[in-house]
Amino acid sequence: MTCPPSEDIIRQVRRQCPKIMLSFSRGKDAIGAFLAIRDHFDEIVPYHLYLVPGLEFVEESLAYYERIIGRKIWNMPHPTFYKQLNSFIFHPPSHAAVIAAANLPNFSYLDVHRMIAEAEGLPDSALVASGVRAADSPIRKIAFQTHGAISVSRRQFYPIWDWNKARLLETISASGIKLPVDYLWFGRSFDGIDLRFLAPLKKHAPADYRRVLEWFPLADLEVWRYERSLAA
């Protein structure tokens, strides 16, 4: 299967869906996707999925991007957030009964799509723009070659699927839009609660680090082991 260029993908989706959503992680790929589609649709509804609620550096960057995009960005829990709580990740055994009794919901990306579409008055068929690119990995390249850059079943399309990193960074630089502070601290956008993110967060944003521990108290052991290895 030959996947059409991203510009053709955008035009094809525009004919079917004048109003769309944008999965906005605050990362460079999400920014690139916004820049690629912003002049082509009647309405773009952006949403961000948080991994830990209430992190100040995330909230500050969302406020900045809302000014850029010109509208409110939906900020909703990532399906992984509840999945990790329900799996007792970074929790002591004594918390298991309480978490189980809370009966926290498990939901999918499609559930998020339906909730936002309903709240915004969009049809259920409205697609979500995602910044996934073929250049990210050989597996993704094969996926685009096999399945194309529009997935009706997932309600997603990929408006920069064929962009390389140089084109992406040049486009963002030319727009004047800033990358979030994540790239200074982590080298990428915040998308996990493993050591790659925990150690820099403790160093640069201790209040946010404490907020992570409110939800995942034993995450502190990851940093403790790392700091002990440095002292050895």
Is residue 195 a part of any domain in this protein?
A: no
pLDDT band at residue 1 under the 50/70/90 scheme: low
Continuous segment of H or E residues that includes residue 9: helix 6-16
pLDDT band at residue 52 under the 50/70/90 scheme: very high
CATH code of 34's domain = 3.40.50.620
Q: Across all residues in the chain, what is the average pLDDT? A: 96
Is residue 42 a part of any domain in this protein?
A: yes
Q: How many domains does the chain have?
A: 1
Is residue 64 a part of any domain in this protein?
A: yes
Is residue 169 a part of any domain in this protein?
A: yes
For the stretch 63-99, pLDDT in tens is 999 999 999 999 999 999 999 999 999 999 999 999 9
Is residue 66 a part of any domain in this protein?
A: yes
Closest CA to 27 of 172, 201, 128: 172
- What integer pLDDT is reported at residue 181 of this predicted model? 98
CA angle 33, 39, 40 (to 5 degrees): 85
Beta bridge pairs of residue 127: none
Is residue 1 a part of any domain in this protein?
A: no
3-state secondary structure of 64: helix
Helix intervals (H) in 46-194: 56-69, 79-86, 96-102, 109-120, 138-147, 165-175, 182-185
Residue 181: Cβ-neighbour burial (10 angstroms; 0-12, 13-18, 19+): middle
Is residue 193 a part of any domain in this protein?
A: no
Dihedral over alpha carbons 220, 230, 184, 73 (to 10 degrees): -10
Is residue 204 a part of any domain in this protein?
A: no
Report the C-alpha gap between 229 and 98 in whole angstroms: 34
Work out whether the CA dihedral 132, 133, 136, 142 comes out positive or negative: positive
Quote the domain boundaries for residue 117: 6-182
